[in-house]
């Protein structure tokens, strides 16, 4: 919530902050586990070596370990960056605005003044409903849109925004 707290205007308070659902992280942790396993397997095959191991009959066994360790390292770095991106998401409701911020290095901020909000939508599929997350979209005059993607308890988020707008 650092971005939202730092961007508050005078006489503006943070009313609620919204979080991503834990299930959004599970595929990334699954990929991270197997990419680290690829690195370990690559190191093992690189040090021990196995003359019977040929990767698709293209890569000789001497380089199979390097191949697995290299692919595993790239996959690990990409997955760690993706987790950092998800951890950097800020979503909140203030007394004057709805704010969503994404990004680690480059920041993408969506803001919508409460007076300009015309519609608040909830988008939730069957699996998302079972797991307790969804997408809340607040749209306003013109093309202004703020999207809370994969937010935890989306109905509570919609109610929080709606109660601030006196929409039920």
Whole-structure pTM value: 0.78
Q: Where are the alpha helices (DSSP H) in the chain?
A: 2-6, 26-47, 61-87, 126-131, 154-165
123 to 64, 78, 144: CA distances (angstroms):
46, 28, 18
pLDDT digits (tens, 9 = 90+) for 58-115: 656 667 778 888 999 999 999 999 999 999 999 999 999 999 999 888 889 999 998 8
Q: Please name the fold of domain 2-20+93-165.
A: PH-domain like (2.30.29)
Residues 146 and 47: their CA atoms lie apart, in Å, by 52
Q: What is the DSSP letter of 27?
A: H
Residue whose pair of structure tokens reads 């290299």 in the numeric block: 70
Look at 59 and 164; give whichever has higher pLDDT.
164
pLDDT at 2: 81
CB neighbour class for 64 (10 Å; exposed up to 12, middle 13-18, buried from 19): buried
């Amino acid at each position: 919530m650092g971005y939202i707290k730092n961007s508050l205007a005078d006489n503006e308070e943070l009313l609620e902050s919204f979080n991503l659902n834990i299930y959004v992280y599970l595929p990334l942790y699954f990929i991270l586990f197997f990419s680290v396993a690829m690195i370990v397997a690559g190191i093992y095959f690189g040090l021990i070596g196995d003359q019977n191991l040929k990767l698709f009959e293209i890569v000789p066994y001497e380089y199979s370990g390097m191949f697995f360790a290299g692919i595993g390292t790239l996959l690990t770095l990409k997955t760690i960056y993706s987790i950092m991106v998800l951890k950097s998401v800020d979503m909140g409701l203030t007394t004057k605005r709805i704010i969503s911020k994404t990004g680690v290095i480059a920041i993408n901020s969506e803001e919508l003044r409460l007076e300009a909000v015309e519609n608040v939508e909830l988008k939730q599929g069957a699996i998302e409903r079972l797991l307790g997350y969804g997408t809340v979209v607040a749209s306003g005059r013109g093309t202004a849109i703020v999207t809370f993607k994969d937010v935890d308890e989306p109905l509570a988020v919609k109610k929080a925004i709606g109660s601030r707008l006196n929409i039920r």
